[in-house]
Structure 1
Amino acid sequence: MAVTPITELNERARDVFRLVVESYLGTGLPVGSRTISKMASLSLSPASIRNVMQDLEELGLLAAPHTSAGRMPTETGLRLFVDGMMQAAEPSVEERRAIEAGISEGGPIEEALSAATAALSGLSACAGIVMVPKREPVLRQFGFVPLNERQALAVLVGQDGSIENRVVDLPVGVTPMMLNEAANFMSARFGGMTLAQAGDALRREVEGDRSALQGAARELVARGIALWSQDADDRPVLIVRGQAHLLDDGTAADLERVRQLLEQLEGKQEISRLLESALAGSATKIFIGSENKLFSLSGSSVIAAPYRSGDGRVVGVVGVIGPTRLNYARVIPMVDFTAQTLSRLMR
């Protein structure tokens, strides 16, 4: 259904519609004409308000869940409110500090992204989501720590200070001296390269029979690079935090919707594809309910904003997923601020 332009509603209709939406977003419940008539900003009788609400229902902006209930906004109505009537509220000083706190602690970029997402989730009472930039770490140092006769802990240190550990199976005949030799070789030969570049360099040396390593030690190096490269390809590109916020007191009568939403959050690849549509934009994107097929059953909303690297390229997306009755005026600026903060981190 096409969204009715806000200019086609007269002042009385706009006032009634705004009060219905704001009441619903605050309580999650349908609102009746008598409740609207008691609001100080509106001097209309319940009968007049009922007539206006009926007109808004015929336009597809309001709906009644059952005959005796009040009205609530439809997804079309929510879209009209968000695009044409909502007055955004900037994040408070405390909210800004909470978002920035985890990001300023240093460490691997994934930890900062996770911290920002957790803070955004807590402040918005939604599930926080962030797409991790697809990047290859630049290597600085390698190490192997023996665990037993057949396994060792392979340690990779990136130039950004990140540290990753993997358990690698040892080729037959590898000694502790060979582990040190292989680690020193990798650090000296592959420092400053990405994993892909290191793998290509090793293959060229082996093919040209120019490798300083032979036998078991050379096989150990190849296994280490292959293991890290494979894990990098499988690395999660989406971090989700705060799913428990979706199970608040207001969901007791709506458990089926929440169950469907939690199941959808488990399918991270599907959500990643949804968020990729925000990568091409320069502004925050808002998906309300069935506007996106992924969340059509659970009736959920997604607010997502892109964040950028130092050269201005969009490298990821941060946002929230929650019920359609989100406090859009508060949450949208909060998502915007989080994206801006992550962009500063990426410089």
Structure 2
Amino acid sequence: MSGPPVTELSTRAREVFRVVVESYLGSGAPVGSRTISKLAGLNLSPASIRNVMQDLEELGLLEAPHTSAGRMPTQTGLRLFVDGMMQTAEPSPEERAAIEARAARGGPIEEALAATSAVLSGLSACAGIVLVPPNEPVLRQFSFVPLSREQAVAVMVGNDGSVENRVVDLPPDIPASALVEAGNFISERLAGMTLSEARARMEAEIGRERAALDKAAAALVERGLAVWSRDGASRPVLIVRGQANLIDPGDAADLERVRQLLDEIEGKEEIARLLESARSGQGMKIFIGAENKLFSLSGSSVIAAPYRGVDGRVVGVVGVIGPTRLNYARIVPMVDFTAQALTRMMT
């Protein structure tokens, strides 16, 4: 059910609705008319407020749990509030500094993304999530540096100037000249290809005995390319940090919802698919409760924003997962700022 536009609510109804939602998001408890009359300064009696709340309930914006005479926003009401009434609060200087410091620290991309997600989780008191950009470097140069008779360091330089090192095991009794030959072959014949393209080309050429390499060098080329292929396949698609923030030991009634949410988070592929829809957008995405079937049982919300790479294209998504009772006004701009910080890190 979709609610009415904000403009169709009277001034009195909008103000009562705003106070109910903000009070609920702050306390997590249904809000009664007497409480609202004390909080809002509306100059309305509890009876008048009850009448307005009844009207809002009939519009599908509020509901009354059977355990309480108070009201709380429905999912439709939360969506109306987030889209049309919420006044966001920019991250504090301390929060901005914490996010920027972690994003600017550098290091391997997955580690930087995981650490930044952990900072966001701590600041928002939610689980932080980040969709990792695909990592298919294009080869520019490749070489092997011997470490011992059994091992060498494979050094790959990408077209973007990135340099990565991996230790590879050497075939038995391989001569030093084969290391040079293998590195030259990759640099000359496979430059301009992604790793998967280079490995496929190499396997095809060796299979047809067309590769201009002796057997030792050919085996080394295969090992050098394979170590990156295995590494790429094991890289996480989705990084989740701060799941413990979702558990409130004092709220026994909420434990089943949290258990369901943690089960859903374990299915990272499903969440990754959800975040892909944010990757295709131009800005913030907010999924509230059953708007997405993945979280229909736990009644959870996702706030996500895309971040961009060096060419301006969206390469990943960062965000948080938490209960529908989130401080959206604070967390939405915090997620947006984190996405901007990751964009600066990527470029």
SS in 1 for 2:66: coil
CA distance in 2, matches of 1:288, 1:250: 24
The amino acid across from 2:27 in the alignment is T
| Match in the other structure for 2:98 | 98
CA distance in 1, matches of 2:45, 2:116: 47
Aligned residues with identical type, % of pairs: 65
| Match in the other structure for 2:232 | 232
Q: Is the 8 A contact 1:19 1:36 kept in 2?
A: yes
Against the structure 1 CA distance between its residues 93 and 12, is the aligned structure 2 distance closer, same or farther, given a 3 Å change threshold? Answer: same
CA distance in 1, matches of 2:142, 2:322: 42
Q: Is the 8 A contact 2:114 2:239 kept in 1?
A: yes
Q: Which moved more, 1:250-259 or 1:279-288?
A: 250-259
Q: Is the 8 A contact 2:238 2:268 kept in 1?
A: yes
Deviations 1:162-184, CA, capped at 9 Å, x for gaps: 6464776x76xx13x44x55544
| Match in the other structure for 1:190 | 186
| Match in the other structure for 1:21 | 21
Superposition deviation, residue 233 in structure 1? 3.4
CA distance in 1, matches of 2:238, 2:318: 10
Superposition deviation, residue 75 in structure 1? 0.6
SS in 1 for 2:276: helix
SS in 1 for 2:303: strand
- Number of paired residues? 339
Superposition deviation, residue 228 in structure 1? 2.6
SS in 1 for 2:42: coil
SS in 2 for 1:38: helix
TM-score w.r.t. length of structure 1: 0.88
Q: Is the 8 A contact 1:6 1:84 kept in 2?
A: yes
Superposition deviation, residue 329 in structure 1? 0.4
Once the two structures are superposed, the pairs formed by residues 1-347 of structure 1 within 5 Å of their partners are 1-66=1-66, 68-138=68-138, 141=142, 143=144, 157-159=156-158, 163=164, 165=166, 174-175=172-173, 177-178=174-175, 183-191=179-187, 194-200=194-200, 202-203=202-203, 206=206, 207=208, 209-214=210-215, 216-249=216-249, 251-347=251-347
Against the structure 1 CA distance between its residues 158 and 261, is the aligned structure 2 distance closer, same or farther, given a 3 Å change threshold? Answer: farther
SS in 1 for 2:252: helix
CA distance in 1, matches of 2:308, 2:327: 26
Superposition deviation, residue 310 in structure 1? 2.4
Q: Is the 8 A contact 1:154 1:224 kept in 2?
A: no
The amino acid across from 2:135 in the alignment is R
CA distance in 2, matches of 1:182, 1:331: 56
Instruction: Please tell me the root mean square deviation across aligned C-alpha atoms, in Å.
Output: 2.6
Against the structure 1 CA distance between its residues 14 and 38, is the aligned structure 2 distance closer, same or farther, given a 3 Å change threshold? Answer: same
Find runs of 4+ consecutive structure 1 residues off by over 4 angstroms: 138-149, 152-168, 180-183
Against the structure 1 CA distance between its residues 61 and 129, is the aligned structure 2 distance closer, same or farther, given a 3 Å change threshold? Answer: same
CA distance in 1, matches of 2:149, 2:295: 49
Give ranges in structure 2 of 5+ residues lacking alignment: none
Q: Is the 8 A contact 1:128 1:321 kept in 2?
A: yes
Give ranges in structure 1 of 5+ residues lacking alignment: none
Superposition deviation, residue 210 in structure 1? 4.0
The amino acid across from 2:213 in the alignment is A
